[in-house]
C-alpha cells in the first residue's frame, strides 16, 4: 500500500512538471508568433489603441439618390446597421457608426483604415443578381493568355454537395456526370475569375438529364475552356431589339441606348456618372478588375434575399473535407422561388465564351455591387432549395466574396463626402491613470497575499505575472491578426480581471487549509482541496464568461470592449489555474519547507487548527476558534461570517 501511494505521488509530481513545461512552451510559441509578425509582417510589440485613446479616421458617407428621390429614416438606419456589420467582419473593434441629420452616415474608425476596410465602406451599395446578356473586353491591357482548363475542373457530380476532383479528365466527367456543367472560362491571369459552378448544397437534388446529353455538354465546355482568353470575334458595332422583352434573360432588354453605353464603356477608367439601380432596367457594368464589361438584364434576385453566405472548403461525397474552397449561399424563403426559376431557365442555355459574347441568353448570373460584377457563375442544375455552392476561388477570394455577398444588401448607395483624421476623445492621460489603477490593484493583491499566505504568495505573484504576460501577448496577436483595438473600456475589463484571478487562488488556498484542519497532511490536502475548489472556480468563472458574452452580443461598441477583455481574461484565468497554480502547489507541497508546516509557509497547521477559519468565497470567512468558544456573545445570531 505504501509503495502504491508513493508511486501515485511521484506520478502527480511528474505530471505537474510536465504541465508547467507545456505552459511555458506555449508562452514561447506565442512570443515567437508575435516576433515573426513584427519581423515579417505589420505586427507590433505593443497593442493597438482604440479610437478614444489614439484617435483615428472619420469618413462621412453621403447617400447617392437617383431621380430626385429622398432618403427615409428607415433606409438610413438599415444602411447604418449593415455598415457596422461590414466593418466588424473586417476584424476592426471600437469603430463608431452614427447618422448625421437625416441623410449622412458618419464612420469613425481607430487608426488608419486598411484598403480592405475602406473598400468595404466605399462599396456600400445595393447587391443585385442580374442575368448576363452580353460581354466584351473591358480593359484590353489586362487581357493575357491564361492556361487552358478541362471541363473536369468546373463540372459537378450528380450527387448534391459533391464535385468531381480537379484532376479528373474531360472524358471521365462526360461519362459519369449527369448534369450540365457550367462553362469554364479561361479569361485573364489578372482577373483570376474562377467562379465556375453553382450547385445545390442540400441533399436529395439530382438531375434527370441523360448521359449522352451530358457528354455533349462536357465536350462543348471543354472546347470553350481550351481558349486562350483572346476574343474570337470583335463585338457587334450596332444593335437594336427585335421586339418587347419577354423576361429578364431576353436580349431584347438591351435597348439602343444601353448598347451605345456598353460600346463606350471603358473599364480602365472610373465611371463618369452614378450607376443606375433601377431593378427593372438593364445596366452596363465592369468586372471588379476591369477585364470584362457586361450588359446585364433586370434584377431577378435582390441582395436583400441573401440569408447567409459563408466561405469554407467543399465536403466530398463521403463526408470528407476537400481542399477546394467554396461559398455556401443560402437564400430567404422569398428569394428561393426566384432563384430556383432563374436557375431552371439558365441551365438550358449555353455558357459564356471567353472574351466576347454577343447579345443573347446565357447560363450566367452576375452578382453586382456598386455597378461592379463580383462573380458571374453558371448553373450546373436547377436549384429549387435556395441553397447553392459556388466554387472556383482561392480561400482568401472566397472569404472576401462571401463577406460582400452577406453584407452587400444595402438599401442605398453612398459616396465618400469627407475623410479626415480625428484626435482621441480621452488620450494618453486617461490611459496613464488606468495603468496606474491597475498597478495599484496588483500591489494591493500582492500585499494581501504576503500577509495572509506568507511564502505561498510566490504562487500568487507567479500566477499574476504569467496571466499578465499571456493577456498582453493575446491582445498584441489579436491586434495583428484581427486589427483588435484596446480602448478604455477594455482597460477597465483588464483591471477587473485582477480581482477574478485573485479570487481563484484564494478559494484554492483556503480549501487546502480546510483539509489541513481536518488532519490531512499537505500533499493529501492539496489534492483534496483541488477537487473541492475547481468546481467552485468553474462556476464563478462560468458566470463571468456568460455575462461577458451577453454584453458583447447585445451592448454597443464601447461596452463591447469591456466585455471582450473580461471574457478573454476569464478564459486565461481558468488556464492559469489549471496549468500553473495547481501544478505549482503540487510541487511545493513535496518540498520540506512547505510540508513541515513552517510558520512562514502559509500552511502552519497548529495555527490553522487553533482558529478554524473557513473561506466562503468572495472575501468572506466563517470563523470558529478560541475567541468564539470563550465568548459566545461574539458569535452572530445565525452563525454568519465576521
Catalogue all structural domains in the chain, each as residue range(s) with its CATH number.
Answer: 2-47+427-609 (1.20.1640.10), 56-122+418-422 (3.30.70.3400), 127-403 (no CATH), 611-642 (no CATH)
Tell me, what's the pLDDT at 298? 92
Whether the pLDDT of residue 493 is over 80: the answer is yes
- Mean pLDDT on 378-393: 86
Best CA proximity match to 217, nearest among 179, 185, 187: 179
Element (H, E) at 346: helix 333-346
**Is 160 or 137 the better-scoring residue by pLDDT?**
137
- CA–CA separation, 525 vs 523, rounded Å? 5
335 — pLDDT class (breaks 50, 70, 90): confident
Distance CA 475, CA 325 (A): 30
pLDDT at 97: 85
Least trusted range by pLDDT, from 191-200, 375-384, 485-494, 509-518: 191-200
Cβ–Cβ < 8 Å for 294, 376: yes
What are residue 293's DSSP bridge partners? 136, 286
Element (H, E) at 219: helix 211-225
- Quick check: 32 pLDDT over 90? yes
- Amino acid 606: pLDDT: 64
* 306-315/321-331 β-pairing: antiparallel
Give the residue-averaged pLDDT of 506-532: 87
Q: Is pLDDT at 496 greater than 60 in this prediction?
A: yes
Q: How far is 602 from 613, CA to CA, in rounded Å?
A: 13
Lowest-pLDDT range of 341-350, 372-381, 420-429: 420-429
Across the chain, what does the average pLDDT equal? Answer: 74
Q: What is the pLDDT of residues 461-475, one digit of tens each?
A: 889 899 999 999 999
How much is the pLDDT for 626? 46
Per-residue pLDDT, 74: 75
At residue 485, does pLDDT exceed 90?
Answer: no
Band of the pLDDT at 191, cuts 50, 70, 90? very low
Q: What is the mean pLDDT of residues 286-301?
A: 89
pLDDT tier for residue 186 given thresholds of 50, 70 and 90: very low
Interval 290-296 mean pLDDT? 90
Question: CA 100, CA 170: separation in Å to the nearest integer?
Answer: 58
Please compute the mean of the pLDDT values over residues 281-285 and round it to a whole number: 90
pLDDT at 620 over 50: yes
Position with higher pLDDT, 551 vs 191: 551
Q: What is the pTM of this model?
A: 0.57
- Asked whether residue 331 carries a pLDDT value surpassing 70, the answer given is yes
Task: Name the least confident of 50-54, 231-235, 272-276, 385-389.
Answer: 231-235
CA dihedral 589, 595, 598, 603 (to 10 degrees): 60
Residue 267's pLDDT is 85
Give residue-wise pLDDT tens across range 118-155. 766 766 556 789 999 999 987 766 655 443 332 233 33
546 Cβ partners below 8 Å, 6+ apart? none
DSSP code, position 642: -
* Cα–Cα distance measured from residue 326 to residue 154, given in angstroms and rounded to the nearest whole number: 12
Would you say residue 324 has pLDDT above 50? yes
At residue 223, the pLDDT reads 32
Amino acid at each position: 500500500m505504501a509503495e502504491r501511494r508513493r508511486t501515485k505521488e511521484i506520478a502527480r509530481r511528474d505530471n505537474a512538471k510536465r504541465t508547467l513545461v507545456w505552459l511555458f512552451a506555449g508562452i514561447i510559441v506565442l512570443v515567437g508568433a508575435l516576433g515573426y509578425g513584427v519581423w515579417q509582417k505589420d505586427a507590433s510589440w505593443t497593442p493597438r489603441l482604440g479610437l478614444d485613446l489614439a484617435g483615428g479616421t472619420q469618413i462621412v458617407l453621403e447617400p447617392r439618390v437617383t431621380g430626385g428621390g429622398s432618403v427615409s429614416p428607415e433606409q438610413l438606419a438599415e444602411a447604418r446597421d449593415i455598415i457596422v456589420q461590414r466593418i466588424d467582419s473586417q476584424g476592426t473593434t471600437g469603430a463608431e457608426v452614427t447618422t448625421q441629420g437625416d441623410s449622412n452616415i458618419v464612420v469613425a474608425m481607430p487608426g488608419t483604415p486598411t484598403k480592405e476596410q475602406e473598400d468595404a465602406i466605399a462599396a456600400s451599395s445595393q447587391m443585385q443578381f442580374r442575368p448576363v446578356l452580353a460581354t466584351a473586353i473591358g480593359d484590353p491591357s489586362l487581357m493575357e493568355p491564361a492556361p487552358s482548363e478541362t471541363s473536369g475542373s468546373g463540372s459537378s457530380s450528380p450527387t448534391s454537395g459533391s464535385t468531381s476532383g480537379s484532376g479528373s479528365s474531360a472524358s471521365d466527367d462526360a461519362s459519369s456526370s449527369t448534369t450540365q456543367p457550367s462553362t469554364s472560362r479561361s479569361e485573364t491571369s489578372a482577373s483570376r475569375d474562377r467562379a465556375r459552378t453553382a450547385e445545390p448544397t442540400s441533399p436529395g437534388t439530382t438531375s434527370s438529364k441523360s448521359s449522352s446529353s451530358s457528354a455533349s455538354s462536357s465536350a462543348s465546355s471543354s472546347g470553350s475552356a481550351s481558349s486562350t482568353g483572346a476574343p474570337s470575334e470583335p463585338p457587334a458595332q450596332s444593335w437594336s431589339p427585335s421586339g418587347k422583352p419577354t423576361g429578364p434573360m431576353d436580349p431584347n432588354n438591351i435597348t439602343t441606348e444601353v448598347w451605345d453605353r456598353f460600346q463606350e464603356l471603358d473599364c480602365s477608367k472610373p465611371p463618369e456618372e452614378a450607376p443606375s439601380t433601377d431593378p427593372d432596367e438593364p445596366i452596363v457594368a465592369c468586372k471588379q478588375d476591369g477585364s470584362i464589361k457586361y450588359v446585364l438584364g433586370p434584377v431577378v434576385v435582390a441582395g436583400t434575399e441573401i440569408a447567409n453566405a459563408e466561405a469554407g472548403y467543399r465536403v466530398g461525397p463521403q463526408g470528407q473535407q476537400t481542399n477546394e474552397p467554396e461559398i455556401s449561399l443560402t437564400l430567404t424563403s422569398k428569394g428561393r422561388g426566384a432563384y430556383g426559376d432563374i436557375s431552371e431557365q439558365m441551365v438550358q442555355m449555353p455558357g459564356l465564351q471567353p472574351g466576347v459574347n454577343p447579345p443573347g441568353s446565357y447560363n450566367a448570373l452576375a452578382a453586382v455591387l456598386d455597378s461592379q460584377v463580383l462573380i458571374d457563375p453558371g448553373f450546373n442544375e436547377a436549384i429549387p432549395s435556395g441553397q447553392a455552392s459556388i466554387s472556383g476561388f482561392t480561400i482568401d477570394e472566397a472569404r472576401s466574396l462571401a463577406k460582400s455577398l452577406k453584407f452587400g444588401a444595402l438599401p442605398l448607395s453612398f459616396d465618400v463626402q469627407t475623410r479626415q483624421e480625428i484626435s482621441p476623445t480621452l488620450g494618453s492621460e486617461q490611459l496613464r491613470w488606468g495603468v496606474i489603477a491597475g498597478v495599484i490593484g496588483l500591489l494591493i493583491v500582492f500585499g494581501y497575499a504576503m500577509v495572509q499566505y506568507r511564502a505561498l504568495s510566490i504562487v500568487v505573484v507567479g500566477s499574476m505575472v504569467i496571466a499578465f504576460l499571456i493577456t498582453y501577448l493575446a491582445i498584441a496577436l489579436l491586434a495583428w491578426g484581427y486589427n483588435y483595438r484596446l480602448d478604455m473600456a477594455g482597460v477597465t475589463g483588464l483591471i477587473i480581471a485582477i480581482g477574478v484571478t485573485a479570487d481563484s487562488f484564494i478559494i484554492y488556498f483556503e480549501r487546502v487549509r480546510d483539509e489541513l484542519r481536518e488532519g490531512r497532511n499537505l500533499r493529501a490536502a492539496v489534492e483534496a482541496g483541488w477537487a473541492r475548489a475547481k468546481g467552485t472556480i468553474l462556476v464563478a468563472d462560468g458566470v463571468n464568461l456568460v455575462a461577458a458574452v451577453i454584453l458583447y452580443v447585445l451592448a454597443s461598441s464601447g461596452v463591447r470592449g469591456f466585455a471582450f477583455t473580461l471574457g478573454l481574461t476569464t478564459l486565461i484565468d481558468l488556464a492559469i489555474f489549471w496549468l500553473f497554480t495547481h501544478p505549482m502547489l503540487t510541487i511545493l507541497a513535496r518540498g520540506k519547507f512547505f510540508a513541515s508546516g513552517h510558520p512562514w509557509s502559509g500552511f502552519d497547521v497548529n495555527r490553522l487548527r487553533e482558529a478554524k477559519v473557513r473561506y466562503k468565497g468572495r472575501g468572506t470567512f466563517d470563523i470558529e476558534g478560541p475567541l468564539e468558544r470563550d465568548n459566545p456573545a461574539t458569535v452572530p445570531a445565525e452563525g454568519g461570517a465576521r
